[in-house]
Amino acid sequence: MSFGDVNKLVINDKDGLATKQNSEVFYRYLLSNNVAYNYCKRNIVDPNPLEEKIVAVGERFNNSYKMTLSLIKDACENNNIDFALFKTYKYINEAVDGDIDLVVKEKDFNNFLGIMKGLGFECQEDEPLKGRCEKEGYSKIEPRATVSYHGMEVFNEPEIWKNVHEVSVDGLSVLSTTKEFDSICLLLNVLYGPKYVSLYLFRLTKGMGSEVVKGLTDKVEISEDINFISQELLDQESLKKKFPLFLDNTSFIIWWLKRILFNGSFTLKERFKHLVFFYYIKYKYILFNKLHFEHKWI
């Protein structure tokens, strides 16, 4: 089965993938694209040891996520703090194998960090109004009050909070930023992170046109960036390729010159670190088949 065949079945949510797959290479491909747990849960009736391990690890990640989320919800309710998941809620049955990103209001940000410290978490503010809280046995929590990249604010507090809705996580009702808002922020992260487009992200953003972007923001730069990444990596021809997808070098350099080189929100060191990091994560994957942001499953 070619990469194109696998990609289309994953994107279209069809069960044609459900032939027995014993290849670790096959599952590493799905894991690299944040869809392996979903594939095994949806398709496998009689799992082999590798599939059992993926499900077991995915459920361990999810249990940690739900335990941490329940603690956050209780702590925030007890202290009258509003919070919403950000880029974390999964729109398919997939494991949350990374951090819990969330937004709180600026007036509650320091209080939130203090409450988490009181619960035994080690907390620090990495950037203005953007922090992280860590404790053994729990998912890492990354609270923020705005959406920014290296100090460059993209969405302010009012813009975020008008794009939240209620979701259910294993019976736990919480607020989350909307699918459209998450999609735009994840795509912007491909550029400003920088990062890459996985099959999960491709699927999440499928069918998201320019009208959706206009409905969320009137900032010309954001619309231009989303159109750029969509044209470069989100067309149907991309489904024939091996994921995750990286921008080609020329396109990235042109974008970097336009958006980063003279951007006063970035220090001079950050501007060139951003450029170097793009090539580092890209060629680490191309040459060694290792993703910088990959979590250990198998």
Going from N- to C-terminal start, the domains of the chain cover: 3-288
Using omega within 30 degrees of 0 as the cis cutoff, is the peptide bond preceding 128 cis? no
DSSP 8-state code for residue 136: T
* Among 168, 212, 164, residue whose Cα is nearest residue 187: 212
The residue-averaged pLDDT of 234-258 equals 95
Distance of CA 267 to the CA centre of its chain: 25
Residue 12 has pLDDT above 80, yes or no: no
Q: pLDDT-based confidence at 81, cuts 50/70/90?
A: very high
Cα 16 to the center of its chain, rounded Å: 26
Q: Say yes or no to pLDDT of 298 above 80.
A: no
State whether CATH 3.30.460.40 applies to domain 3-288.
yes
**Over 70: is that where the pLDDT of 14 sits?**
no
**What's the pLDDT score for residue 48?**
85
Give me the mean pLDDT over the 262-289 stretch. 94
The percent of residues in the chain predicted with pLDDT above 70, rounded, is: 96
Stretch 180-203: mean pLDDT? 95
Q: How far apart are CA 292 and CA 281, in angstroms?
A: 6
Sign of torsion over alpha carbons 261, 265, 269, 272? negative
pLDDT for position 10 = 83
Taking CA atoms, 20 is separated from 41, 45, 62, 184, 227, in Å, by 13, 10, 25, 35, 38
Mean pLDDT over each residue of the chain, to the nearest integer: 91
Rounded CA separation 33/219 (Å): 30
- 73 burial level (CB within 10 Å; 0-12, 13-18, 19+): middle
92-102 pLDDT per residue, tens: 889 998 899 99
- Longest Cα–Cα distance of the chain, Å, equals 56
CA distance 249 to 64: 38
Mean pLDDT value across residues 191-210: 89
Alpha helices in the chain (DSSP H): 3-11, 24-32, 36-43, 49-78, 106-118, 157-161, 179-192, 199-204, 210-216, 220-233, 249-259, 268-288
Q: Which of 157, 149, 164, 201 is nearest to 33 (CA)?
A: 201
pLDDT of residue 225 exceeding 80, the answer is yes
Whether the model pTM is above 0.75: yes
Please state, in angstroms and rounded to a whole number, the distance separating the CA atoms of residues 130 and 148.
Answer: 9
- Name the most confidently modeled range: 25-34, 166-175, 263-272: 166-175
Residue 244, preceding bond cis, omega within 30 degrees? Answer: yes
- Distance (Å, rounded) from C-alpha 137 to C-alpha 161? 30
User: If pLDDT is split at 50, 70 and 90, which confidence band does 70 have?
Assistant: very high
Q: What is the mean pLDDT of residues 126-145?
A: 96
Region 163-183: mean pLDDT is 96
The answer to whether 119 and 96 are in contact (CB under 8 A) is no
The answer to whether the beta carbons of residues 157 and 193 sit under 8 Å apart is: no
- pLDDT (average), residues 118-144: 96
Say what the pLDDT of residue 24 is.
82
Minimum mean pLDDT range among 12-16, 53-57, 120-124, 144-148: 12-16
